[in-house]
Structure 1
C-alpha cells in the first residue's frame, strides 16, 4: 500500500512524517529536530544518506532543512528579521563561499501572474543585484576588497515561454558561469497549518510543479552544471488534505459519541494511506485536482518574499 500512496507535498519533513504515522522505519534517513522556544521557531533537518532512503522518500540524496515559524504569516517585522537570520545561517552552511569573487545566480521560479506561485519572482524583485556593477567598474566600485557577485533571472513558466525552465537556466549558467544557483519557488504542503509558515532549504535542487502533480524537468547540479540550493515556502494545499483533516476531526468526535462510536472505531482502523485514498474517492471527480490557498495570500507572499530576499541580500553584502 505504501508504494501506491502518493501524497501531494514538496516537504521532505512531511514525507518522513507519513512513514512515521504508519510506523515504518526508513534506513538511510536521519531526522534531527531543534526548537527555539524564545523565538518560537522549530528547525527540522532531514538527511537522506543512501539511495535506498532516496527511493523510499521519493527525493534525492541530500539535506533538507525545514523552518517552521507559526508567526511567519503575521506582519511582525521583528519576527521576520529573526526568520531571515535563520535562513541566512543555513545558506552559509550549504554554500561553499570561500572562493574570491564568488558568484551566484538566483532563479525566481513560478508565474508572476498567479499570486500563490509568485514567490520566486517577488524575491528576485527585492534583491540587490551586483554582478553588472562589478563587471563594469571592478570590485572596488563596491568599496570592498572582496565582493560576491549576485545576478538573478525570472524565467517564467513553460506555458509562457514554450521552454523547460531548466533549459533557460542551463543557457544562462553556461554564459555567465556562476559558482552556484539558488532557486526560489512556491511549494505544496500536506498539512494546512504549514501554509505560509514554513521555509524549506535544501542542497538537492528542485523539481518545479512536483507538489501539484505538474512535474517539470529537475533543476539540479547534474542538469545545470553547478550546485543548486533550493528555497521554498508552501503556499497551496491539496483539497483532499483539507477534507482528510476534517475527517480526522470527525473520527475524533465519533469516538466520543456513544451512538457513532462503532463507526469511528472502524475508520480509525484505516492507516494514513487508506484514509487519503478514501477521501480522494469521495471528492472525485469535481474536487480531485483542486488546490487551495489562504485568502490573504497576496500580502503574505509579498511579506515572505521580502524576508527571504533580506537573507540573500545580507549573504551577498
Structure 2
C-alpha cells in the first residue's frame, strides 16, 4: 500500500505553498498577494474556482483570505487596531452586494470550540467580547435598531459534542429555525502546518467551516448547504502537529548529521529518502511512544485573549461601524 505524506492544515494559503513554484499556476485556483500602502499586514487571497481547484487544494470552491500579521503576538494596541480594521474591510468585501448594511440584517456569530481548553477557546472568548443587539429589538421593538441604523447581532457558544452530546450544526439549525438570521459567522481555532503561523495568521472564508478537520477530529460541516444560509468563517491557527514540526526541521537534522564524520552515513541515508519515507521513518519512531501529538505555544493563553479582542473589534467595525470601547 502506497503511503501518502500529508501534514494537516486548515489554511488554504499553506495548501497553496505546498505546490511547486509560487502556487499561482494551479489549475482552477487563482492567487493574489498584496500589502496596503504603509501596512504591516501581508494579504493573500486564494480563490478556488472549480472542481479541479477543489480537488487540487482539498478545500471547497470559494474565497480564502489570509491576513499574516507577524506582530500579533505582541501587546501593541495600534497594530491590533490595524488588524481589526483590515479584518473588517475584508468582511465587508466578502459581503459586497448582500446588503448587510440594511437595518434589519441579522448576523449570528457562533463561537466554536471548548472554552475549557485554551488552544480551542478562541471562539468562546470572541463571543465574550461581542456586542450583541438582538435583545434590544426584542425589548424595545423593531424601530429601536432601525432608527439607529444598527444591524441585529446575536451570538451563541454551542460547545463541543463531549459537553452537549450534540453537533454544533444541530444546535445552529434549531437557532436558525427560531431566529432566522441572514448570515452566520463561525469563529474557530485552526491547525497549521508551520509553527510561524501560530497566533499570527487570520483566515477568512465564505465557504463555511469544517470543525476539527485540521486535527483529524471531523465533525459535521457548517456550510450554506448544511445550514441553509451563508456561512462565513474566521479562524486562527493555535496548534501545529508534531509531525509538521519534524517535517520543518528534517533538513536541518540532515545537515547536522552530514557535517559530522561519525554520522555522515546516516545523514546521507535520510537525505536520499523521499518526503513520504522521511515522515514514515520519524512517525514509526515517535508515535508508538508518544501517540499523535499537537503542539501549542507556551504563551497561548495571552495570545488567544488578545486575538479574541482583535477579532471581535473587526466584527464590530464591519457591522456597527465603530469600535467597542
TM-score for the superposition, normalised by structure 1: 0.92
Residue 154 of structure 2: SS of its match in structure 1? strand
1:74 aligned partner: 74
1:44 aligned partner: 44
CA distance in structure 1 between the partners assigned to 2:71 and 2:190 by the alignment: 18
1:282 aligned partner: 285
CA distance in structure 1 between the partners assigned to 2:23 and 2:32 by the alignment: 18
2:323 aligned partner: none
1:217 aligned to 2:217? no
Residue range with higher mean Cα deviation, 87-96 or 276-285: 276-285
**Alpha-carbon distance change, 114 to 3 in structure 1, aligned in 2, over 3 angstroms:** same
**Alpha-carbon distance change, 168 to 281 in structure 1, aligned in 2, over 3 angstroms:** same
Residue range with higher mean Cα deviation, 140-149 or 193-202: 140-149
1:183 aligned to 2:186? yes
- 1:11-160 equivalences under 5 Å are 11-20=11-20, 26-36=26-36, 38-95=38-95, 96=98, 97-138=100-141, 140-142=143-145, 144-160=147-163
CA distance in structure 1 between the partners assigned to 2:57 and 2:291 by the alignment: 23
Q: Is the 8 A contact 2:111 2:124 kept in 1?
A: yes
CA distance in structure 2 between the partners assigned to 1:296 and 1:39 by the alignment: 26
Post-superposition Cα deviations, 1:243-302, rounded to whole Å, max 9, x if no partner, equal 222322222344556775665455444454443333322312233411111111111101
**Alpha-carbon distance change, 3 to 38 in structure 1, aligned in 2, over 3 angstroms:** farther
Residue range with higher mean Cα deviation, 236-245 or 81-90: 236-245
Residue range with higher mean Cα deviation, 141-150 or 56-65: 141-150
Question: Cα RMSD over matched residues?
Answer: 2.5
Residue range with higher mean Cα deviation, 2-11 or 153-162: 2-11
Q: Is the 8 A contact 2:3 2:276 kept in 1?
A: no
CA distance in structure 2 between the partners assigned to 1:202 and 1:71 by the alignment: 22
CA distance in structure 2 between the partners assigned to 1:284 and 1:229 by the alignment: 36
Residue 309 of structure 2: SS of its match in structure 1? helix
CA distance in structure 2 between the partners assigned to 1:271 and 1:35 by the alignment: 36
1:295 aligned to 2:298? yes
1:244 aligned partner: 247
Count of matched residue pairs: 317
Structure 2 residue ranges without an equivalent (≥5): 321-325
Structure 1 residue ranges without an equivalent (≥5): none
**Alpha-carbon distance change, 262 to 57 in structure 1, aligned in 2, over 3 angstroms:** same
CA distance in structure 1 between the partners assigned to 2:158 and 2:171 by the alignment: 7
Post-superposition Cα deviations, 1:189-248, rounded to whole Å, max 9, x if no partner, equal 110010011100000001100000001000000001100000000001101122222322
Residue 64 of structure 1: SS of its match in structure 2? strand
- 1:295-314 equivalences under 5 Å are 295-314=298-317
1:194 to 178, 193, 197: 197
Residue range with higher mean Cα deviation, 140-149 or 170-179: 140-149
